[in-house]
A and B are shown apart, each in its own frame.
Chain A
Amino acid sequence: MKKIILLIALLVGWIAFYMNLANIADFLIYNILNLEEGKHLTESIWFFIYEVPKVMLLLVLIVFIVGIIRSWFSPERTRKALEGKSLFAGNVMASGLGIVTPFCSCSAIPLFLGFVEAGIPIGVTFSFLIAAPLINEVALILLASLFGWKVAVIYALTGLTIAIISGFILEKMKLQRYVEEWVYQVKSNQPGLVDEKITLNDRIEAGLDSVKEIVGKIWIYILIGIAVGAGAHGYVPDDYLANLLGDENWYAVPLAIIAGIPLYSNAAGIIPIVGVLMEKGVTLGTALAFMMSVIGLSLPEIIILKKVLKWQLIVIFVSVVAVGITMVGFLFNFFNI
């Protein structure tokens, strides 16, 4: 009970702080630091002082809420939900569950093995493995606060579509023979963790833990990202990148995706770079394609998957997802969203 009251008090404080961010930034800039209004430097510093607490506040709140929501989900339950689902419905469900099931790419192998053991088609498993890293609360909050809600929603919807359709195509290609043989021999003699009793208090703890873990890991990227954004704020774009990756060039999107595959970063690390690219005149479609490629297709993940998949399947997997991302990029550039 005490905890609930404390949480409500914190929420009220959160709202008050959030509503007054602009006032606080104004006060710090003009009254404490005594900077001159209208100067480039002043604008940049204002942007930084306003944006950092804004993004941090949003992150803490949403990561907390998502942490609580995730306490209702587990890979074991997700597996049960997916067992015996027909192909397309399975892909849709797996992609959706990929967003809410707690997942870390370090657990990709046990998860893959567990799904195969339960007889879940590999295409459905791939839908899960594509959606889980690609669409997450951190990516969506950062996209929304830096580029607006429309961009965040578009990112989520197209990301889901890629996960569903790629998984479906991979299943239709009948690739089972490219999974390492030993994978099919895995048999568990135990049910794993049988229903833990989770109290409301545990769920709140889970929310707090995920705030500590996620925000603790990414705050530095956010700081750097916003600093870069503040530096670029209002300055004239350099048009070299715009010429190379602007909307005139059809090859901008594939080039961005190929560049993104060997790069590995979480959503928080990549958003500042996306911000800079867009400041420099790279179109939204190309920038989002780059981001999806970095987050969704990465060398470390490929190396992890190599334990259970033969190289042919890895090549096909990467190609199918890359084609999906390319289409998203083209779509946006074509419709000029």
Chain B
Amino acid sequence: MEIKVLGTGCVKCKKLEKLTENTVNELGLDATIEKIEDIYKIMQFGVMRTPGLVIDGKVVLTGRLPKTNELIEFLTK
């Protein structure tokens, strides 16, 4: 699984990155996590609110932090 965290460095973006890392580790998933900070690249996903979460090329969340169980759902679907 390919996970991308989109964020220019706002507080929530860093939190999302941490939360995703922890959850992936806890679930023992085979996934790569990439942080994308370049605004030009972020815009290519059509995201207008950071942070954004992209799983296997699909935007699943923008503009807020997910609840842990919500994130687990995204990751295991």
Contacts and interface: CB of A to CB of B under 8 A. Distances in A.
Interface residues of A, number: 26
A182 interface: yes
B63 A192 contact: no
Interface centre among A74, A187, A190 (most CB of B within 10 A): A190
B43 A113 contact: yes
Contacts of B8: 106, 109-110
Contacts of A190: 44-46, 57, 59
A194 to B, nearest CB: 8
B38 to A, nearest CB: 11
B47 interface: yes
Contact of B39 (A74, A117, A189, A307): A307
B60 interface: yes
B61 A186 contact: no
B49 A111 contact: yes
Interface centre among B43, B47, B64 (most CB of A within 10 A): B43
B23 interface: no
Nearest to A192: B46
A21 B46 CA distance: 48
Given A102-B63, A106-B10, A188 B45 contact: yes
B20 interface: no
A76 interface: yes
Contacts of B10: 104, 106-107
A111 B62 CA distance: 12
A219 to B, nearest CB: 18
A117 B44 CA distance: 11
Interface string B23-62: 0000000000000000110111111111010000101111
Given A189-B44, A190-B44, 7 more contacts: A75-B48, A76-B48, A188-B43, A190-B46, A192-B48, A193-B47, A193-B61
20 contacts: A74-B63, A75-B63, A76-B46, A79-B48, A104-B49, A106-B10, A107-B49, A114-B46, A182-B40, A186-B40, A186-B43, A187-B43, A187-B44, A188-B44, A190-B44, A190-B57, A190-B59, A192-B48, A192-B59, A193-B60
Interface of A: 74-76, 79, 102, 104, 106-107, 109-111, 113-114, 117, 182, 186-194, 209, 307
